[in-house]
Chain A
Amino acid sequence: MNTSIIAAGKDLQWKDSLTTESSLVRRLLIAAAFLYLTLFLFVPLVAIFSEALKHGLSGYIESFFNEDALAAIRLTLLVAAVAVPLNAVFGVAAAWAIAKFEFVGKQALITLIDMPLAVSPVIAGLIYVLLFGAQGWLGTWLAEHDIKIIFALPGIVLATIFVTVPFVARELIPLMQSQGREEEEAAITLGASGWQMFRRVTLPNIKWSLLYGVILCNARAMGEFGAVSVVSGHIRGLTNTMPLHVEILYNEYNAVSAFAVASLLTLLAIVTLSAKVLIERKTASPDRLKSRR
């Protein structure tokens, strides 16, 4: 491994002896990183799949082909399909206003957007119960009009939106700020309409960051547990998302199926994260060229 490190390092300019460490330090650092990642990342990851495959591949596949599991998978995808686009559209709107204009209360708006990152998922679920629950402020009105929010799809979607709302805006704001206003101002001065400017200038500039934000948002939306657990009602085949289904299976002493569904969620996460790495390569290369120049 050591030779390959050095061999691979040859083409890199910072392997210049002036700006690198002795190979001992390098190896120690890599070893430290790997030890840490092994304890906290690789072992858990391997554990999920090994527990899931305990009863062989057929047992693994069986875990998905029952009504409850399929319903949970459908619901999770549906929730993500509603929550992610909404967060993307409003994230772009918020980023545009914040990055391209100076106005009073901007910091407050940014903090508001960031809040859900720091709020406990338990509280995220609780606030919707306080608002829309039968004993909540809108409870009576909702009951009179027979609108169901809590313990139904809308409540699950709302809780998911809350938890994932910051990601798109957070990705876009620093990028759009650093890109400045000149390109868009030029487009407007040349007579482009607002929509044309957005489509031809802004969107191409932000598309990779936007996609990156959407991917993070999606990863989190499919995996949310705490907040959704409070508003779901846990009705089998109806309001159980995949993470909740994992918990249910686990509580039924069906650890193999629980880990099987968990491994599916893990696979979804890995696919999503790999897509993210590809995007990073795409975005990083022109940037790096720029900074090297």
Chain B
Amino acid sequence: MKIKQLASIAVFLTGFFLGVSSIQAAEPVVILNVSYDPTRELYQEFNAAFAKHWLAKTGQKVTIKQSHGGSSKQARAVIDGLEADVVTLALAYDVDAISEKAALIPSNWQTRFPQNSAPYTSTIAFLVRKGNPKGIKDWDDLVKPGVSVITPNPKTSGVARWNYLAAWGYALRQSGHDEAKAKEFIAQLFKNVPVLDSGARGATTTFVEHGIGDVLINWENEILLGGEGLGKDKFDVVVPPTSILAEPTVSLVDKIVDKRGTRTVAQAYLEYLYSEEGQEISAKHYYRPRLPSVAAKYTKFPKLELFTLQEFFGDWQKANKTHFADGGTFDQVYLQLSKERR
């Protein structure tokens, strides 16, 4: 009897302490994901899915806070001290900037996760008015006189840089790598641009809400969302036969996760993007999944020929210097256009 009682007390106590220790291990944790504009809906769903997965796996409750904005603006906030555990940005250049200017991330960050640290990809596509009245099918239709093109400002928007490079790459392919011809093509294109919004979302609003422009160049995911979500009866999606492979990249912010002791959960968070469920959620929100099994299920992504940034521009550092830095080709094009206007 006595022994039995003692034993039960012992069992109870062990259980109690085990419980306590497991509660300690499962202390709720909050991580911050600093991302760019069009990923709001994606991460809203993914965060809930990951929190559920993490709770089931470890018993720990995790809350993921989100911050969205223009990709470079967000990178700058992290550089200036916004304590992001993970960044999920529009282009590798912005993560490079965090690594370079603030040394929060090691320079080899892009090798730490599979596939250039880009769990999902996208490309650049067009949205046109219903019935495609201007008959836009490919990039060279954008430079025709009388076609009004909406694209954001490459100086402030991540996608606008992808747009610019996609058009430039297209022109290089057409002209057999003639840089001067490519620049002329870009000048013709920007001659048709009536508004340069500061971000991807602003450009979509200009096109959809304010009814400006014949064609919107934007992320494929924004275009598909716009074509299906915002007004199936008002717009048509046009995917050009060739475009650029856009790789939005993700990274841990090492200095922050080490300081806050959140490395394990942050690492698991990004890894989960590559999991079956993570890929499903990406695909659902119109990001092209990497996992072949998931990709096979989603036929909504049109087939097209994709060229890479590396093919024509080397890397982001080089592309940025040649095209978007002060005095780069974008500035030159606008100087030329304003001279023509006079």
B132 at the A/B interface (Cβ < 8 Å)?
A: no
Q: Roughly how many angstroms separate A151 CA and B65 CA in the complex, as a whole number?
A: 13
For residue A171, give the distance in angstroms from its CB to the closest CB of chain B. Answer: 35
B81 touches A151 (CB 8 A): yes
Residues of chain B with a CB closer than 8 A to A248's CB: 68
Closest 10 pairs between A and B when the two form their complex, measured CB to CB: A134-B81, A133-B80, A251-B201, A151-B82, A233-B82, A235-B67, A234-B67, A236-B66, A235-B65, A234-B69
B-side residues, CB < 8 A to A, are 32, 37, 40-41, 65-69, 77, 79-83, 101-102, 199, 201-202, 204-205, 208-209, 229-230
Residues of chain B with a CB closer than 8 A to A148's CB: 81, 83
Residues of chain A with a CB closer than 8 A to B68's CB: 234, 236, 248, 251
Q: Chain A CB within 10 Å — which of B65, B80, B199 has the most?
A: B80
Q: Roughly how many angstroms separate A131 CA and B230 CA in the complex, as a whole number?
A: 43
A143 at the A/B interface (Cβ < 8 Å)?
A: yes
Residues of chain B with a CB closer than 8 A to A129's CB: 80
A139 touches B81 (CB 8 A): yes
Residues of chain A with a CB closer than 8 A to B81's CB: 132-135, 139, 143, 148, 150-151
Give the size of the chain A interface in residues (CB under 8 angstroms).
Answer: 23
A253 at the A/B interface (Cβ < 8 Å)?
A: yes
Residues of chain A with a CB closer than 8 A to B83's CB: 148, 151
Q: Roughly how many angstroms separate A251 CA and B153 CA in the complex, as a whole number?
A: 16
A85 at the A/B interface (Cβ < 8 Å)?
A: no
For residue B223, give the distance in angstroms from its CB to the closest CB of chain A. Answer: 14
Q: Roughly how many angstroms separate A251 CA and B39 CA in the complex, as a whole number?
A: 11
The A interface, classified by DSSP as helix, strand, loop or mixed, is loop
Q: How many residue pairs at the A-B interface have CB separations less than 8 Å?
A: 64
For residue B155, give the distance in angstroms from its CB to the closest CB of chain A. Answer: 15
A102 at the A/B interface (Cβ < 8 Å)?
A: no
A223-250 Cβ-contact flags toward B at 8 Å (1 or 0): 0000000000111111000000000101
A252 at the A/B interface (Cβ < 8 Å)?
A: yes
A253 touches B230 (CB 8 A): yes
Beyond A133-B80, A135-B102, 4 additional contacts (C-beta under 8 Å) are: A134-B102, A151-B77, A251-B68, A253-B229
A236 touches B65 (CB 8 A): yes
Q: Roughly how many angstroms separate A148 CA and B67 CA in the complex, as a whole number?
A: 17
Q: Roughly how many angstroms separate A148 CA and B65 CA in the complex, as a whole number?
A: 17
A136 at the A/B interface (Cβ < 8 Å)?
A: yes
Given contacts A151-B83, A251-B201, A255-B209, contact A238 B77 (CB under 8 A): no
Q: Which residues of A (200-238) have their CB < 8 Å from a CB of B?
A: 233-238
Residues of chain A with a CB closer than 8 A to B230's CB: 253
B205 touches A135 (CB 8 A): no
From B79, B199, B205, contact of A134 by CB (8 A):
B79
B209 touches A233 (CB 8 A): no
Q: Which residues of A (113-153) have their CB < 8 Å from a CB of B?
A: 129, 132-136, 139, 143, 148, 150-151
